[in-house]
């Protein structure tokens, strides 16, 4: 009987110990929650107040609420994990997020916020000294923006560090981008949409300075820093896609008065690079790139023209208006906009103090199906082939209107207004001015089409300066025989 009592008391003691441990753990949790408790009620007039890095990392809540950052937050001692989804209004209140470090090399997507919900906003925020390692898809602020990013300034660096081996394809949004039909020596420059069957197996990796996919608005924002590539990929079958601000701007997307200042520097075999955006289907207005884009093949003997750079946009399928590029461009095939599709508009584009070193360069577009209006370029050009205004023009009935190039050009082959490699083309030109000086060329035709040169129109030559003025002229390119 005594033995039984002892057993009962032991059982009770064990239960009491479990209860005590449970109470202690609950007190610890309550204490932790108390420390992270947000002041305010989350309304517009009484927003939740963010006063610590730990509080900031708890923003991922599906319930819509208002938040305001009350002081600068230093993340140097915090292991930062991307916030998967933010639904609300975050007012940075002019405060700074300092020393964020993100290692996303093992993640499919990388950014401070992986997704910003519809009707959500991030405003009046500074991000300073951020360092990001990105794997397959990355951006600094938001991967997928469905809301509004406004008055956000970012400074820091990003390194694209893809895992060695097989790469995953980019988000389905990007899969209609024009991809070059790569060939040796840059012969017969042409493009196919990546959604076509033969491109399904192409591996793509990408990074953008502010937002990877923009379905909302990026307004009055900027990124100052560097985007670099960390290693030579052992698998040469991938294409790097990168931009200073945005990778894909959807039909409803707007980028306004937003700028990049710094450097994009990559050593890869194949790439599609855009200074402001890689693939624009919406509107980009009053925005710019200032700095350097340098893309070189890791194999200096590589004869494939693999690196395509658009100083402003790589593929324009929407409206690009009043945008500027200032700085240097180094790559295989270079222009302000590489591919300008049917129905797309380039208006009031300005390239100033430009320095170019490339195999092929054309001032405003490599492949043009749309309109190019009131644009100008000034700088120093060094290229094997210089395509004047456009390299290939297919915009039947469309116009290249009121454009101007004033450059010092060194090239082996020059097509002053257009350098055509296709059999049939119709280019409509008006109010055109182009002047080149300090040239080292074998020939200097007004139009170059394969081996055939067309007559010079209204040519004026003084010393080593040659200029062309053209008013309302249609030039139909006949089959090259």
Looking at residue 473, its pLDDT comes to 40
The pLDDT confidence band at residue 268, using thresholds 50, 70 and 90, is confident
Residues 237, 203 contacting (CB under 8 angstroms): yes
CB count within 10 Å of CB 25 equals 10
Instruction: Give residue 270's pLDDT.
Output: 87
Kindly indicate the confidence band of residue 396, based on its pLDDT and cuts at 50, 70 and 90.
low
CA–CA dist 21, 365 (Å, integer): 70
Q: What is the mean pLDDT of residues 249-260?
A: 97
For 211-233, give the DSSP string.
Answer: EEEESSEEES-EEEEEEEE-S--
* Coil, strand or helix at 16: helix
Residues whose CB falls within 8 Å of the CB of residue 306, separated by 6 or more in sequence, listed in order: 182, 268, 269, 270, 271, 297, 332
Highest mean pLDDT among 166-180, 325-339, 450-464: 325-339
Mean pLDDT (whole number) for 89-109: 94
Considering only residues 401 and 171, tell me which one the structure prediction assigns the higher pLDDT. 401
Instruction: Assign 218 a pLDDT band (cuts: 50, 70, 90).
Output: very high
More confident residue, 185 or 29: 185
Q: Does 19 have pLDDT greater than 70? A: no
Highest mean pLDDT of the ranges 25-34, 90-99, 166-175, 366-375: 90-99
Token pair of 326 as six digits: 């200032």
Instruction: Give yes or no for a contact between 140 and 243, defined as CB atoms under 8 angstroms apart.
Output: no
Of the segments 109-113, 230-234, 375-379, 382-386, which one has the largest average pLDDT value? 109-113
* pLDDT tens per residue, range 317-363: 999 999 999 999 999 999 999 999 988 899 999 998 899 999 899 89
CA distance 254 to 382: 34
| CA-wise closest residue to 321 among 329, 309, 313, 330 | 313
Whole-angstrom distance, CA of residue 315 vs CA of residue 313:
6
Is the pLDDT score of 427 beyond 50?
Answer: no
Residue in 367, 393, 379, 388 with CA at minimum distance from that of residue 432: 388
Q: Which residue has the higher pLDDT, 296 or 219?
A: 219
CA–CA distances in Å: residue 154 to residues 4, 132, 348, 362: 71, 12, 27, 32
pLDDT band at 417 (very low <50, low <70, confident <90, very high): low
d(CA 346, CA 353): 20
Return the residue matching tokens 């040796």. 184
Looking at residue 219, its pLDDT comes to 98
Of residues 395 and 364, more confidently modeled: 364
pLDDT at position 442 over 50 = no
Average pLDDT over residues 214-220: 98
- Eight-state DSSP code of residue 180: E
Is the Cβ–Cβ distance between 335 and 376 less than 8 Å?
A: no
What are 460's two structure tokens? 């004026």
| Mean pLDDT of the residues in the chain | 78
**Cβ neighbours around 255 below 10 Å, total:** 27
DSSP code at position 37 = P
Helix (H) or strand (E) holding 36: helix 2-36
What are the structure tokens assigned to 52, written together? 């610590």
Burial class (CB in 10 A: 0-12, 13-18, 19+), 349: buried
If one compares 436 and 208, the residue with the highest pLDDT of the two is 208
- Global pTM reads 0.82
Average pLDDT over residues 11-37: 51
Q: 290 vs 54, 202, 259, 355, 364, CA distance in Å? A: 35, 31, 8, 12, 17
Q: Between these two residues, 408 and 432, which has the higher pLDDT value?
A: 408
* DSSP label of 245: S
Instruction: Return the pLDDT at 419.
Output: 45
pLDDT digit string (tens) for 34-72? 445 789 999 999 999 999 999 999 888 668 999 999 999
């Amino acid at each position: 009987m005594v033995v039984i009592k002892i057993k009962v008391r032991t059982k009770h003691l064990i239960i009491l110990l479990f209860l005590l441990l449970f109470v202690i753990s609950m007190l610890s949790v309550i204490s932790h929650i108390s420390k992270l408790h947000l002041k305010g009620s989350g309304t517009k007039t009484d927003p939740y107040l963010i006063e610590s890095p730990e509080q900031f990392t708890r923003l991922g809540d599906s319930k819509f609420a208002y938040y305001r950052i009350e002081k600068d937050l230093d993340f140097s001692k915090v292991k930062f994990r991307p916030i998967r989804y933010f639904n609300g209004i975050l007012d940075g209140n002019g405060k700074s997020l300092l020393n964020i470090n993100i290692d996303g090399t093992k993640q499919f997507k990388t950014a401070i916020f992986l997704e910003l919900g519809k009707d959500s906003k991030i405003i009046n925020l500074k991000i300073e000294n951020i360092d990001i390692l990105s794997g397959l898809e990355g951006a600094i602020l938001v991967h997928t923006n469905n809301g509004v990013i406004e008055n956000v300034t970012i400074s820091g660096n990003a390194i694209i560090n893809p895992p060695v081996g097989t790469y995953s394809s980019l988000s389905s949004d990007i899969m209609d981008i024009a991809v070059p039909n790569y060939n040796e020596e840059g012969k017969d420059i042409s493009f196919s949409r990546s959604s076509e069957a033969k491109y399904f197996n192409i591996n793509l990796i990408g990074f953008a300075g502010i937002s990877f996919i923009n379905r909302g608005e990026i307004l009055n924002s900027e990124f100052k820093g560097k985007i670099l590539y960390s290693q030579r990929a052992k698998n040469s079958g991938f294409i790097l896609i990168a931009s200073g601000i945005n990778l894909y701007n959807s039909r409803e997307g707007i980028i306004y008065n937003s700028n990049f200042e710094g450097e994009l520097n990559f050593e890869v075999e194949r790439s599609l690079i855009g200074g402001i955006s890689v693939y624009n289907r919406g509107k980009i207005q009053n925005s710019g790139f200032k700095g350097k884009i340098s893309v070189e093949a890791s194999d200096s003997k590589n004869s494939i023209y693999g690196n395509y750079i658009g100083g402003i946009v790589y593929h324009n399928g929407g409206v690009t208006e009043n945008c500027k590029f200032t700085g240097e461009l180094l790559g295989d095939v270079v222009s302000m906009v590489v591919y300008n599709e049917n129905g797309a508009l380039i208006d009031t584009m300005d390239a100033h103090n430009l320095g170019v070193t490339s195999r092929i360069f054309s001032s405003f577009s490599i492949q043009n199906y749309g309109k190019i209006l009131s644009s100008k370029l000034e700088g120093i050009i060094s290229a094997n082939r210089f395509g004047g205004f456009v390299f290939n023009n297919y915009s039947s009935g469309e116009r290249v209107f009121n454009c101007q190039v004033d450059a010092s050009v060194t090239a082996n082959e020059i097509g002053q207004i257009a350098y055509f490699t296709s059999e049939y083309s119709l280019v409509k030109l008006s109010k055109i001015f182009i002047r080149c000086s300090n040239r080292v060329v074998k020939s200097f035709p007004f139009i170059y089409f394969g081996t055939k040169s067309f007559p010079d129109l209204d040519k004026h030559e003084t010393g080593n300066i040659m200029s062309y003025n053209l008013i309302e002229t249609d030039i139909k390119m006949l089959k090259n025989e």
